[in-house]
Structure formats: C-alpha cells, structure tokens
Amino acid sequence: MLIKKIVSLFTSLKLTVTLLAFSIVLVFVGTLAQADEGLYGAQAHYFKQWIVVGANLFGHYVPLLLPGGYLLGTLLLANLICAHIQRFQFTTKKIGIQLAHAGVIVLLVGQLATDFLARELQVNFIEGETRGYSDSAMDYELVFNDGNNVTAIPASLLKRGAELKYPSLAFTIRVKEFWRNSDLNFRPPMMKNSPSLTTNGIAAKFDFRPLPEVKTTEQKNIPTAVLELADTKNSFGDWVVSDFAGEPGIVQGIQNGYIEQVGAEMARKIAGDLAAPQSIATDGRTFTFTLRPERVRHPYSLTLLKATHTVYPGTDTPKDFRSRVRLENSTTRENREVEISMNHPLRYGGYTYYQSQMTAGDLVERAGQTPSSVLQVVRNPSWLTPYIGCVMVGLGLVIQFMKHLVGFVSKRKVK
Amino acid sequence: MKKIFQKWFPPFLMFVMALWFFGKLQTPKEKDFAFTGFGELPVTANGRVQPMDSLARNSLLQLRERQRLYLEPWKEWYEKQKSISAIEWLANVMMNPVVADAWPVFRVDHPDLVSLLKLPEKDRAKQSDGKHFSWNQIQPVLEAFNEQNVQVQGIKGPDRNAYQRAVSQLHNQITLYARLKLAVQPGAAQDWPAELAAYEKFVPAAVAAARAQQAGEKFDEEAFKEFSGYIQAFQMMSQWEPPLILPPNGTREWRRMGDALLDVPRGVAVDTAMRDYAKMSGALAANDADVFNAALKDYKASLVPAQAQALAKSRAEVFFNQMEPFYNATVIYILAGLLAVFSWFNLSEVLRRSAVWLIGLAFVIHTIGLVYRMILEGRPPVTNLYSSAIFIGWGACLLGIILEKFYKNGIGCVVSAGIGFITLIIAHHLALEGDTMEMMRAVLDTNFWLATHVVAVTTGYASTFVAGFLALIYIVRGVFTKTLDEATGKSLARMIYGIVCFATLFSFVGTVLGGIWADQSWGRFWGWDPKENGALIIVLWNALILHLRWGGIIRERGLVVCAIGGNIVTSWSWFGVNMLGIGLHSYGFTDAAFFWLMLFVLSQLAFVALGLLPEKKWRSFRA
C-alpha cells in the first residue's frame, strides 16, 4: 500500500509541476544572489546544495527555505525515470515525447556526472616556457623538496593552529596563519617600514596581509600562510609561504606592475627577491619549500611558441587570441605544433586546452614584457552527454510538434 | 460598387503606403556642397570601415539622441525649426570648427550639472532651452567639469548615481566631440591647406635642426621650437584616437591623420588623400562649394582602384541609412494595428484585410532591413542587443502572419503589429548607445554559433512574447469588451498552446546550444551565468505551462494567465539579467531601461490580476 503510494507520487505529474516551479524560484534567487555572493559562492549556496537556508539579495539577508539544486535535480530525475518506466509504450504516437524526456534524463545524469568527475586546471606560461603539468585553478599545496623527495601537503590542511607531522620531513609544521586571499607590498630599503611578519626569507623584503576573498570569476584568490618550523631540538623560526612567490605568472605580473613605478632594472630585482627559494637545513638535508597551485602531471609537455593578440584597427577591442604551442610526447613519439584559439580548443590525452586570458600584443611588447598565455585545462569524461541529450530532446520535440502541426493544418483544411 | 471597393481597397492602401516608402528613398537634392557625397567616404571607426554618414549619425545619436541636428532647440515643438543633416554637421566639425562649435550639439539632461557648470537655463530670449549646448558654451567651463569628472571616474560604473552618470556621460560626449574634431586637422588650424603646405616645406629644415640638437651641435633654435609646436599638435591628433580617415596606400593600413603627419619627418611623403582632405577643409571654411565638390570628386576618384570595394560598401551603407527601414516599418505597424483592432468592433472584413495587406508591407520592409544589415555585416541576424530586438520583432511578426492565415480573425495582425512596433521602439532606444554594427569580441567572433545558438534563443524569446501577447488580447477583450465570444476564446487558447510548444522547442534547443558553445570555448557546459539562468527559466516556465495543461491542472484561463508570466520571464532574461552587472553577458544598461523594465513587469502583473478576476466581472462572459 505504502509502496503503491510512493510509486504513484513519483510518477505523478503534480510532482513534476511542483519541482519545475521550485526550480524556477531557485534559479531566479540563485541568479539574483550572484550580485552579493559571487558566482562561485552562489553556486555552492544554491545549486550544488541539497537544502538552501537563507539567501542574500540586494545586500540583505532574507530568511527562506528552499530545496537546493542537487535535491531538485535528483527528484526530477527520479520523477522522470519512474514516469518513463510506468508510461512507456512502444508506439509511434508518443515517440516524440518519450524521446524528449529520455534526452532530459541524459542531460541531468550527464550534469551530475560532470559535477563529480570534471576537473578544471590551467596552464599559465610565457613564450619559450615548457610545461609538463597543469595547475589547479582553486586548490593549493605546500611543497617541501629535499632534492630527492617531494612532499606535497594540500592547503586545505593548513588551518590556523594546526600542527602537521610527516615521516618524510624531519620537522613539525605549525600553522600560525592561513589567509585564503592576501596582498603583498615591497618593503623599500632605507625607509621606515612597519615591523615585518618575520625576518626569515621573503618576509624580510615583503609585507603580506590578509584580504577578503574575491567573489567574481575575473579575480583570483592568492593565499599566503605563516608557518613555524621546528624539530625536537630547535626551532627554525617563522616563515611566510605565499602563492605570490609560488606561481611564475604572478611573479611576472608583479614585475610588470613595478616597471612603471621603479624602472625595469629595479622591477627585475624585486621579482628576483620574491621568487628566491626559501629553505632550511637539518640533519644534512636541505628542504626548499613553497606554496603553489596543486599540480597535475601529464605524460607529455606543451611549450608556448607564440602568443598572438590582435585587436580591431584603431581600438582596444580584442579580435583574436591564439597560442602556438609545441606538443611533445615521448611515449607516443609525438612532436608537433598546434594552434589553440578562442572557440578552437586542443583535445589531447583526456584533457581539453582552451585559450583563456592572454598578455600579448603591441602594448606588451612596447613595455618590454614577454608575452604570456593562460590556457584553461578541463578534464570532463562526460562532456558528450549534452550533445546527445540536446539532439534527443530537439528531435523528440520536433517530431511531436510536427505531428500536432500536420494534424492541425489538415483539420483546418477539412473545415 | 461596394464589392469592388471591398476587394480593391486593401491592396490600394498598401500600394499608397509602398509609394510613401519609395518616395522617402530618394536622396534630397543638394544645392551647393555635396555633403551626401562626403558621407559616402569610407573611414575606419569603432574597429570597422564605415561611411562618414554612419559615423555622423551614430555620433549625433550619442551626443543628442537624434540623427539630425536641430539648430534652434529653444523653439516650441509646433514651430518650424532649422535643422541640418548629420553629415553636414560632421563635415563642419571635422573641417570647419569655427561654425560647428556654435551649434547646440551636447545634450545635458541633469539639472544639477547644468547649474553647476553655469550653463544657460531655459530662456527663449537668450536662445537656450537649458538642455542643448554648444562647444563654445561647454569649453569655458571645462575646468569645473574636469574637477567633477575626476571624482566620478574613481567610482565604478554600477555604483554611480544619476548625477554621476550624467557627468560620465558628458565626459564621453566631450571625448567623442574632441576625437571628431581632431580627425582631419589640428584643433587650432585656421587655414589648414596653407598650414599643411607650409609644414611640408618646413620639414627638411626642421629635421636638420632636430638632428643637430640631438647630436649636441649648434642648431637652428627658431626652427626647432616651431617644429616642436607642430609635433605637439599632431601628437594630440594621434593620442586622442580619432577615427582613421586615411585609406591604406600600398604599404600602410588605415591610419589616423595625426600619425601620417608625424610620419612626414620620418621620410613618408604627404599623400593625395591628405592633400584632398586639406583642400575640402579649406573650401568648406572659405564657403566655396565648387572647390569642395571638386576636391571630393578627386579624392573619390583616387580611391577607385585600390579601395573600390570599401567605397562600394560605404555607398551601400549610406543607402541603408537613408532608407531607415525600421523607422518606416514602425509607422506602418501602427497603422495596421489600429485597423486590425477596429475590425474587431464592427467586424469589418475590409478593415481586417487592409491590416493584413499593410502588415505584409511592413514585414517586407522589416525583412529588407534585417537582410540588408546581415549582408553589410557579413553576420547572422543577431549580433548584439539591438539586433536581437530587430529579430524578435521580425520573428513575432512572421508568427502573427501565420496565425492570421489560419484563423483570419485579426488577432494575428494585432500580434504582428503590436510586437513589431514595440520591439522596433526598443531597438531605436538601444541604438542611442552608438554604432549598432560594432565588431564582435574575440570569443563571439564565430558565425556558426551566432547563427545557431543566438538565433534559436531569440526565436524562443519571440515566440514566448507572441504567446504572452495573445494572452493579453484574450484578457483585454474579455474583461473590457464584449468581443470575446466562445469561439474566439477557444481559438486564442489554442493559438497560445501551439505557440508555447513552439517556444519550448526553440528556447530549449537554443539554451543547450549555448551550453555546447560554452563547452567548445572554455570547457564548461553549464556555469550558472545569469544569462544562462535567464534562458533556463524560460525553458522551465514553458515546460511548466505544458505540464500544467497536460495534467489538467489549468484550463483555458489558467493557460492565458501563465502565458503572461512568459512575458515577465522573457523580459527578465532579455534585459533584466544584464542589469545585475555580473557575468559574461552584462553589457551595461541605462536608468531608463531599468525603469521601463520595472513598468513592464508591473503592467504584466496587473494583467495577471485581471485575468484572475471572477468570471462575472468579465464583460464578455456576462450573459
């Protein structure tokens, strides 16, 4: 009896209608909230969520309770599948509707799979640079390298007050601060500066301070941590590790930023100071360490040969971005040049490389900077599902629609 | 007799309106200066080669929201005002600023800004309307203005209030005007052809002086000083980034006049294009039409072998500008809509047929405009917000015609005329932002996706609006008139249902194609971008209506009320999400746009409320 009730609930059109109505409300609220919470914040709060509690709209907190994206998606999927099984008849009469609904199922399942399986990375390199790995766009790692072994600690473990011990490391890491987003300033010599965070390494020459996390997709969080390193006998003092120093692209950006203020020579020196490796020595081993984006290694490498950025004549409106890269893979003995441009990605080795931002063109060259290019790298095993789903739904609706139309027209003709 | 009248009046009416349209195609005869011919000259501005005429019209639209310059704005609307064409204005700005600087071309709407800058108030005796000002009036208060402008430029666009936006707008207007003024000659030029000749003659001596100065030798100080004066003036003409008026000549691409002048000391000779422009300038300043026309003819002749294509394309665009297809179609839509509405009351077949014929004419003109634009741009129909309005109107008009063909009850005509008219008015206001044939940014530069995703989504918009408009007709006729009999109501509901099916198909396919485009260009099928979400809401809403109908949860009136909701969600997706100022599709917006969107949404809610009135309040349903 109960089972029957549940089945009839899950096959009912009333449930479909209710879920669709809630979906509309959720998408609307989740869109408005982006102005306050940012795209990623809103995604996590409303769409990649089971239950939504409260919303931030127009700068105000609004108390409300809504089913989240996951819940609605799952229920819609269950509703669709149940109804499909129950009402499925192999007749030409309903084939359009059934095809369309099957297509929606493919789309929903595909998106769910994408959500769990897809990985977004990036490659940020200057002309002439070779990369055998991609960087994570959101996740960072603290890396210790003693020349033989590399120990990578995910930044998610770097919580303030945490104490981390690793068998491969001869010392303990105490996390004194962890800022998900931060800012840095050069400490000009011969000037009265505020006291530095610590006198070790880069902190002697740069000031770091926390910043609120960014909300828009155009900006990027740059994390910084203050660590105390100590073994049983002695302490190695406090050290600042920062993505400012860990990512060559950011170091380059800082250098470019200082060129105008202090000249090319000085800017290069500042960048050199920032990128200078930090290390401690203990037990006859020297550990260099840095905080940088998480890396995914590939069995092949890409070298940026040329970054081209063209604009429409007499304007700054970008006309075209393209990167010429050399693809080398020793296992397949491949060595070829590829051109990646907007709307023309490179699909290779299960990853897809898309042209993203670019620092190149006349202005960059006149400023004496080396052109660089950022490629978005995506791994998404279920990338084909939207294509299939779209064809199914489109075809299904067209069949159904044509049938209606033909019936309607012939009926009017008879009159 | 009556039969003949009934049969022939509708086509006759259409014939009259067609004559009216063709009559407007003729170019006005010019008495002395061949400004129309000047308007055909190609120039590179806004990233594309376009005729001077388009540059003139778009600049004037940005400055004072009209495509003609009215010279006596202080006169009342019923008085005859002297006016000149946009191209005559532009020729004078570029080459005869002494005259052009006195014309009231800057429109300043914010009263605080007017009083802060001590610009003249509305006063007929002093020939001022308190809104339109000349460069001669603006220039003395530039210092005070800049003080304000510096403050405003420090504030981000979305955070500015109305006053700050007015300041920023005037700043843009001044920049635009300065750019146009520096396109042909330096700002301080008195007699440009003579000055150009003098400069050319002087260059060898100047170069020698500069070389000597650099080498630390004795140099001609007088010549050096004069030379720096020239260079400074020409650098202004380069740095302000005016339009590129000099066509490619062999080795060089389109150039600014300023850059070409700066190249002269580097050994690049003054070419014929530079000389011809100087001749035109001298003739215009001297008010000598014959010399002007001769120089213009020479210059055009010099363009023929190498730039024949650019010149031909320019001419085609000038013809398009003069045709004003969308304006003319708007006028005919209004007429046709009125005829169709009247036909409901006296049930006159002649009126309805007249409306059908006129809609046909308006649709043809609308189509000509749409296709002409596509050919000029070499693009699919929709490339920006402006062209989406044109296309939605066109698609809705086509759907209306199809409905009319089947139902023959004037309803299709009213849909065509109503949506055609409203969308073209919206397009007209969107055109105030400047060039509507702007170039496509890198990621949008793909005709394949513009032709598939964008066309499908806008067709979805158009059809959802048609369903909503049908619902409005149902409610207005039902509540306020007695003309909604059972058969009409039924046929309206059937139309709405059919159109909602159609809208579901197109909005769904369009939305998913957009996702696939995103997957192709940055590997993310769905990113919850506001515009994506807006399109998704339309799909969900249409799907919701269909499921409600299939489940029998709503019937005829429920369908009508829900279809009006379609108007709201579509307008939200079309304009509303852009106003959030976030995401990939945020194109910026104006206060006015926000006001009208809110008004539209409120009006639709009011219609929903009317639709929910109990049946006995409906005039048509009272027994």
Apex A352 CA angle, A348 and A353, nearest 5: 100
Residue A260 C-beta-side C-alpha neighbours within 13 Å: 7
- Residue range B437-482, pLDDT digits in tens: 888 887 788 888 888 999 999 999 999 999 999 999 999 999 999 8
Q: Is residue A388 part of a domain?
A: no
Whether A291 and A311 share a structural domain: no
Model confidence band, residue A236 (pLDDT cutoffs 50, 70, 90) = confident
* Chain B from 422 to 441: CB within 8 A of any A CB: 438-439, 441
* A354 in contact with B, Cβ within 8 Å: yes
In this prediction, residues B411-430 reach a mean pLDDT of: 95
Phi and psi, residue B183, nearest 5°: -75, -35
Whether A155 and A284 share a structural domain: yes
Q: Look up tokens 């050919």; give the residue.
A: B375
* A34 in contact with B, Cβ within 8 Å: yes
Q: Do A345 and B520 touch (CB under 8 A)?
A: yes
Whether A287 and A330 share a structural domain: no
Q: CB neighbours (10 Å) of residue A135?
A: 22
Burial (0-12, 13-18, 19+ Cβ within 10 Å), A241 = buried
In this prediction, residues B51-62 reach a mean pLDDT of: 95
CA atoms of A64 and A313, how far apart (whole Å) = 52
CA atoms of A286 and A145, how far apart (whole Å) = 8
Chain A residues near residue B521 by CB distance under 8 angstroms: 342-343, 345, 354
CA distances from A199 to A176, A193, B304 (A): 15, 13, 72
Cα end-to-end distance, chain A, whole Å: 50
Contact B245, B183 (CB under 8 A): yes
Given this model, what pLDDT does residue A191 score?
Answer: 65
CA atoms of B574 and B423, how far apart (whole Å) = 12
Which of B361, B363, B356 lies closest to B397, judged by CA? B363
Judge whether residue A20 has pLDDT over 60. Answer: yes
Whether A218 and A325 share a structural domain: no
- Residue range B296-342, pLDDT digits in tens: 999 999 998 888 999 999 999 999 999 999 999 999 999 999 999 99
Chain B residues near residue A28 by CB distance under 8 angstroms: 533, 537
Given this model, what pLDDT does residue B254 score?
Answer: 93
Which of A309, A339, A313, A345 lies closest to A327, judged by CA? A339
Whether A307 and A288 share a structural domain: no
Structural domain for A361, as ranges: 119-126+297-379
Model confidence band, residue A190 (pLDDT cutoffs 50, 70, 90) = low
In this prediction, residues B245-273 reach a mean pLDDT of: 90
Model confidence band, residue B51 (pLDDT cutoffs 50, 70, 90) = very high
Which of B236, B91, B99, B246 lies closest to B175, judged by CA? B236
Which of B177, B189, B290 lies closest to B234, judged by CA? B189
Contact A124, A413 (CB under 8 A): no
* A32 in contact with B, Cβ within 8 Å: yes
User: Residue type at B54?
Assistant: S
Tell me if ipTM is over 0.85: yes
Question: Which of B256, B582, B601 is the best mutation test for A, with the most CBs of A within 10 A?
Answer: B582
* Chain B from 126 to 145: CB within 8 A of any A CB: none
3-state secondary structure labels for all residues of chain A = CHHHHHHHHHCCHHHHHHHHHHHHHHHHHHHHCHHHHHHHHHHHHHHCCCEEEEEEECCEEEEEEEECHHHHHHHHHHHHHHHHHHHCCCCHHHHHHHHHHHHHHHHHHHHHHHHHHCEEEEEEEECCCEEEEEEEEEEEEEEEECCCCEEEEEHHHCCCCCEEECCCCCCEEEEEEEECCEEEEECCCCCCCCCCCCCCHHHHCEEEEECCCCCCCCCCCCCEEEEEEECCCCEEEEEEEEHHHHCHHHHHHHHHHHHHHHCHHHHHHHHHHHHCCEEEEECCEEEEEEEEEEEEEEEEEEEEEEEEEEECCCCCCEEEEEEEEEEEECCCCEEEEEEEECCECEEECCEEEEEEEEECCHHHHHCCCCCEEEEEEEECCCCCHHHHHHHHHHHHHHHHHHHHHHHHHHHHHHC
CA atoms of B251 and A1, how far apart (whole Å) = 86
Which residues, 6 or more positions from A289, have their beta carbon under 8 angstroms from its beta carbon? Answer: A142, A143, A144, A145, A239, A241, A278, A279, A280
Residue of chain A whose Cα is closest to the Cα of B518: A343
Which of B95, B297, B52, B300 lies closest to B195, judged by CA? B95
* A8 in contact with B, Cβ within 8 Å: no
Highest mean pLDDT among A97-101, A238-242, A316-320, B87-91: B87-91
In this prediction, residues A370-388 reach a mean pLDDT of: 90
Given this model, what pLDDT does residue B506 score?
Answer: 95
Burial (0-12, 13-18, 19+ Cβ within 10 Å), A255 = buried
Model confidence band, residue B587 (pLDDT cutoffs 50, 70, 90) = very low
User: Residue type at B571?
Assistant: S
* Chain A from 308 to 327: CB within 8 A of any B CB: 311-315, 317-321
Q: Which residues pair with A145 in a beta bridge?
A: A150, A288
User: Residue type at B385?
Assistant: L
8-state DSSP, B131: S
Whether A151 and A10 share a structural domain: no
Q: Which helix (H) or strand (E) holds B129?
A: strand B128-129
Which of A146, A149, A162, A134 lies closest to A294, judged by CA? A134
Q: Is B107 helix (H, G, I), strand (E, B) or coil?
A: strand
Q: Do A13 and B47 touch (CB under 8 A)?
A: no
Residue of chain A whose Cα is closest to the Cα of B586: A35
Given this model, what pLDDT does residue B588 score?
Answer: 47
Q: Do A14 and B553 touch (CB under 8 A)?
A: yes
Whether A157 and A52 share a structural domain: no
Read off the tokens for A273: 């100071």
Whether A289 and A150 share a structural domain: yes
Judge whether residue B583 has pLDDT over 60. Answer: no
Judge whether residue B582 has pLDDT over 70. Answer: no
* A40 in contact with B, Cβ within 8 Å: no
Whether A313 and A284 share a structural domain: no
Chain A residues near residue B438 by CB distance under 8 angstroms: 317
Q: Which residues pair with A154 in a beta bridge?
A: A141
Given this model, what pLDDT does residue B477 score?
Answer: 93
Q: Is residue A313 part of a domain?
A: yes
In this prediction, residues B66-91 reach a mean pLDDT of: 90
Question: Which of A120, A343, A378, A405 is the best mutation test for B, with the most CBs of B within 10 A?
Answer: A343
Chain B residues near residue A21 by CB distance under 8 angstroms: 544
Return the percentage of chain B with pLDDT > 70, whole number. 98
Tally the domains of chain A: 3
**Closest CB from B498, B528, B577 relative to A43:** B528
Which of B532, B517, B526, B524 lies closest to A380, judged by CA? B524
Q: Do B521 and A398 touch (CB under 8 A)?
A: no
Read off the tokens for B532: 């994506």
CA distances from B142 to A87, A391, B102, B149, B585 (A): 75, 60, 16, 10, 35
- Residue range A253-286, pLDDT digits in tens: 888 888 878 888 888 888 888 888 898 888 788 8
Whether A75 and A156 share a structural domain: no
Chain B residues near residue A35 by CB distance under 8 angstroms: 580-582
Q: Is B322 helix (H, G, I), strand (E, B) or coil?
A: helix
C-beta pairs of B157-160 under 8 Å, 24+ apart in sequence: B157/B581, B157/B588, B158/B581
Read off the tokens for B612: 């929910």
Which of A143, A254, A253, A237 lies closest to A196, judged by CA? A237
Model confidence band, residue B584 (pLDDT cutoffs 50, 70, 90) = very low
Question: Which of B409, B437, B524, B529 is the best mutation test for A, with the most CBs of A within 10 A?
Answer: B524
* Chain A from 283 to 312: CB within 8 A of any B CB: 311-312
Domain end call among A295, A319, A335: A295
Which is more confident, B585 or A245?
Answer: A245
Judge whether residue A74 has pLDDT over 80. Answer: yes
CA atoms of B272 and B251, how far apart (whole Å) = 15
Whether A149 and A54 share a structural domain: no
Which residues, 6 or more positions from A97, have their beta carbon under 8 angstroms from its beta carbon? Answer: A396, A400
- Residue range A337-348, pLDDT digits in tens: 999 998 889 999
Q: Do A354 and B521 touch (CB under 8 A)?
A: yes
Judge whether residue B159 has pLDDT over 80. Answer: no
Return the percentage of chain A with pLDDT > 70, whole number. 97
Q: Do B442 and A321 touch (CB under 8 A)?
A: yes
CA atoms of B536 and B216, how far apart (whole Å) = 71
Whether A190 and A308 share a structural domain: no
Mean pLDDT of chain B: 91
Which residues, 6 or more positions from B435, have their beta carbon under 8 angstroms from its beta carbon? Answer: B45, B46, B48, B50, B54, B58
Question: Which of B156, B240, B533 is the best mutation test for A, with the most CBs of A within 10 A?
Answer: B533
Contacts across the A-B interface (CB distance below 8 Å): 159
- Residue range A93-120, pLDDT digits in tens: 788 889 999 999 999 999 889 888 888 8
Chain A residues near residue B241 by CB distance under 8 angstroms: 314
Given this model, what pLDDT does residue B586 score?
Answer: 46
Model confidence band, residue B160 (pLDDT cutoffs 50, 70, 90) = confident
Chain A residues near residue B541 by CB distance under 8 angstroms: 24
**Closest CB from B446, B505, B525 relative to A114:** B525
Contact A290, A143 (CB under 8 A): yes
